[in-house]
């Protein structure tokens, strides 16, 4: 009996998936992507006006706190600590459409889904995140997750990063950084510093750690770059800049880099015993192929109002947007209220007054007891949330990354709540009382 019930249930699911649904539904607001940016924006919008008719289009059954994958790779926390059911983070009054958007037609104010349905909208918010182009590195897709080849940029391999670090015996550990924009530009270094510390504890000097980056420095913001150069020097990490990973030869454990020299580009092979890859990334293909993309493929929005540059009823935020700042969840947290306020103004035919200043934050773990809370704006100015020198490595910032930020994400940000007043004000008061010399 139970077998036949199960079979018919499966058949029903299959037939639902196979049915090409040509129906058209209409929503006042359609949000594409139920990740960090999409859920935060939806929650804030519905807090402002619970009557909004709002749909979130998100294919995934699960919602991931991706900043946690760094902690998984460093052996600080298990992967299951950073995942929730998507249904549990979708705001109660929002309609969840579980499907992929395949095409966007802003002239007709509609989009189509993988299963054929058309969604018409009055207003559109685009935040489908960034696409990881594993295939652009020859040999990488087939070698990931074994033989010491790993990446924290996937939930599937973050645990393997820790396994690899734990079991590393001797030799060369390479950490790469690509030419393209990536999410959390600091993540490839965070795992490197933890690995280096772990190796030193267990292996003494029998290893070398190498940072092979397509860039020309450790970090784009001068104030934080200076500290990181000091960290690398202190740790004895070898840096190789203008090294762009092109191929993994898993059989011979070789990483092949395109190296920019005075004479042009040369292919250079470096032997690895483990390699952590930060892969190339780009805007999702369906955005690139749509009229909503700029010439680099990103959702083409005004950097201050986050309104689309050509379609005024469209807004964009998060990793898929053209915003010229570092792509982080922290940035999305500051972008969401700007989209919310400006979209509501647009709906009420008011001028768009809210402005985003490019705020982003990268909690740069530099060891198992230290981190730099690298907060900055469009101009590369440090914008610390607390009155402390933000360029200093601090244990308190490590604790913030491990404990406070995940809590804020699940319990405040995704619920559309602010937290600055609750958390920063009392800390600020404490710091003002005891001064900047407090050893935290």
Ligand X SMILES: Cc1cc2nc3c(=O)[nH]c(=O)nc-3n(C[C@H](O)[C@H](O)[C@H](O)COP(=O)(O)OP(=O)(O)OC[C@H]3O[C@@H](n4cnc5c(N)ncnc54)[C@H](O)[C@@H]3O)c2cc1C
Residue number with CB closer to ligand X (363 or 416):
363
- Contacting residues for 60 by C-beta, under 8 A, at least 6 apart: 34, 86
Residue number with CB closer to ligand X (253 or 327):
327
Q: Is residue 248 a contact point for ligand X (CB under 6 A)?
A: no
Q: Which stretch binds ligand X (CB under 6 A): 35-43, 161-169, 237-245, 388-396?
A: 35-43
* Tokens read off for 2: 């139970």
Q: Which stretch binds ligand X (CB under 6 A): 202-210, 262-270, 319-327, 379-387?
A: 319-327
Q: Is residue 67 a contact point for ligand X (CB under 6 A)?
A: yes
CB 34 within 8 A of CB 63: yes
CB 378 within 8 A of CB 324: yes
* Tokens read off for 41: 């924006």
Helix extents (H) in 254-411: 285-288, 329-347, 395-399, 405-408
Q: Which stretch binds ligand X (CB under 6 A): 161-169, 210-218, 265-273, 325-333?
A: 325-333
CA distance 135 to 153: 14
Q: Is 417 left (phi over 0), alpha (psi -120 to 50) or beta?
A: beta
Please give the residue whose beta carbon sits closest to ligand X in the complex.
Answer: 35
Question: Shortest Cβ distance from residue 434 to ligand X (Å)?
Answer: 28
| Binding test (CB under 6 A) with ligand X, winner from 207, 243, 253, 327 | 327
- State the sign of the Cα–Cα–Cα–Cα dihedral 312, 317, 319, 322: positive
| Binding test (CB under 6 A) with ligand X, winner from 184, 237, 314, 352 | 184
* Tokens read off for 62: 């699960």
Residue number with CB closer to ligand X (77 or 259):
77
Q: Is residue 74 a contact point for ligand X (CB under 6 A)?
A: no
CA distance 388 to 80: 33
Determine how β-strand 281-282 pairs with β-strand 131-132.
Answer: antiparallel
Q: Is residue 70 a contact point for ligand X (CB under 6 A)?
A: yes
Site string for ligand X, 275-294 (x = CB under 6 A): ---------x-x--------
Cα dist from 392 to 96, 386, 395, whole Å: 43, 13, 10
36-55: which residues touch ligand X (CB under 6 A)? 36-38
97-126: which residues touch ligand X (CB under 6 A)? 100-101
Residues in the chain, how many?
440
What is the C-alpha end-to-end distance of the chain, expressed in Å? 63
Residue number with CB closer to ligand X (299 or 344):
299
393-412: which residues touch ligand X (CB under 6 A)? none
Q: Is residue 153 a contact point for ligand X (CB under 6 A)?
A: yes
Closest CA to 176 of 160, 163, 187: 187
| Binding test (CB under 6 A) with ligand X, winner from 52, 71, 187, 248 | 187
Instruction: Give 138's strand partners.
Output: 247
Q: Catalytic site residues? A: 184, 362
- What is the Cβ-side half-sphere exposure of residue 337, based on CA atoms within 13 angstroms? 15
Q: Is residue 59 a contact point for ligand X (CB under 6 A)?
A: yes
| Binding test (CB under 6 A) with ligand X, winner from 27, 43, 46, 69 | 69
Q: Which stretch binds ligand X (CB under 6 A): 192-200, 264-272, 303-311, 323-331?
A: 323-331
SS3 category, 35: coil
DSSP state of 222: H
Residue number with CB closer to ligand X (32 or 259):
32
CA distance 223 to 227: 7
CA distance 272 to 207: 11
Question: Shortest Cβ distance from residue 330 to ligand X (Å)?
Answer: 4
| Binding test (CB under 6 A) with ligand X, winner from 178, 318, 358, 390 | 318
Q: Between vectors from CA 137 to CA 132 and to CA 139, what angle results, nearest 5°? A: 120
Residues that bind ligand X (rule: CB under 6 A) add up to a total of 37
Q: Which stretch binds ligand X (CB under 6 A): 182-190, 368-376, 386-394, 427-435?
A: 182-190
Question: Shortest Cβ distance from residue 287 to ligand X (Å)?
Answer: 8
Question: Shortest Cβ distance from residue 59 to ligand X (Å)?
Answer: 6
What does the binding site for ligand X look like in residue numbers (CB under 6 A)? 32-38, 57-60, 66-67, 69-70, 100-101, 127-129, 152-153, 183-184, 187, 284, 286, 318-320, 327-330, 332, 361, 363
């Amino acid at each position: 009996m139970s077998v036949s019930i199960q079979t018919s249930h499966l058949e029903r699911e299959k037939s639902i998936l196979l049915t090409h649904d040509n129906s058209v539904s209409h929503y006042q607001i359609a949000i594409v992507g139920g990740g960090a940016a999409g859920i935060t924006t939806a929650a804030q919008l519905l807090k402002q006006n619970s009557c909004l008719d709002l749909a979130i289009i998100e294919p995934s059954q699960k919602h991931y706190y991706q900043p946690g994958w760094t902690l998984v790779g460093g052996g600080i926390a298990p992967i299951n600590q950073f995942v929730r059911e998507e249904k549990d983070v979708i705001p109660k009054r929002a309609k969840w459409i579980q499907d992929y958007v395949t095409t966007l037609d802003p002239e007709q104010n509609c989009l189509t889904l993988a299963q054929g349905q058309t969604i018409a909208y009055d207003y559109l918010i685009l935040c489908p995140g960034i696409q990881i182009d594993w295939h652009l590195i020859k040999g990488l897709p087939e070698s990931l997750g074994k033989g010491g080849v790993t990446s924290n940029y996937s939930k599937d391999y973050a645990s393997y990063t820790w396994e690899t670090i734990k079991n590393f015996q001797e030799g060369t550990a390479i950490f790469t950084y690509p030419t393209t924009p990536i999410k959390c530009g600091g993540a490839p270094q965070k795992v490197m510093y933890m690995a280096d510390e772990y190796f030193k504890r267990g292996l003494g000097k029998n290893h070398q750690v190498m940072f092979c980056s397509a860039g020309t420095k450790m970090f784009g913001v001068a104030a934080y770059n200076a500290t990181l150069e000091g960290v690398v020097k202190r740790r004895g990490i070898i840096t190789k800049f203008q090294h762009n990973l092109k191929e993994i030869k898993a059989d011979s454990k070789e990483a092949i880099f395109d190296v920019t020299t005075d004479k042009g580009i040369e292919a250079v092979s470096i032997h690895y015993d483990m390699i952590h890859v930060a892969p190339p990334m780009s805007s999702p293909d369906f955005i690139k192929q749509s009229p909503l993309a700029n010439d680099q493929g990103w959702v083409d929005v005004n950097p201050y109002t986050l309104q689309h540059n050509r379609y005024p009823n469209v807004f964009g935020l998060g990793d898929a947007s053209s915003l010229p700042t570092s792509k982080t969840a922290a940035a999305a947290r500051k972008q969401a209220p700007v989209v919310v306020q400006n979209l509501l103004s647009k709906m009420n035919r008011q001028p768009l007054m809210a402005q985003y200043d490019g705020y982003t934050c990268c909690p740069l773990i530099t060891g198992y007891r230290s981190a730099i809370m690298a907060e900055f704006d469009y101009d590369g100015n440090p914008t610390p949330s607390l009155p402390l020198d933000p360029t200093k490595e601090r244990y308190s910032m490590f604790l913030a990354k491990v404990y406070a930020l995940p809590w804020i994400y699940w319990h405040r940000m995704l619920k559309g709540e602010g937290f600055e007043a609750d958390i920063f004000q009392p800390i600020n008061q404490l710091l003002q009382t005891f001064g900047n010399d407090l050893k935290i």
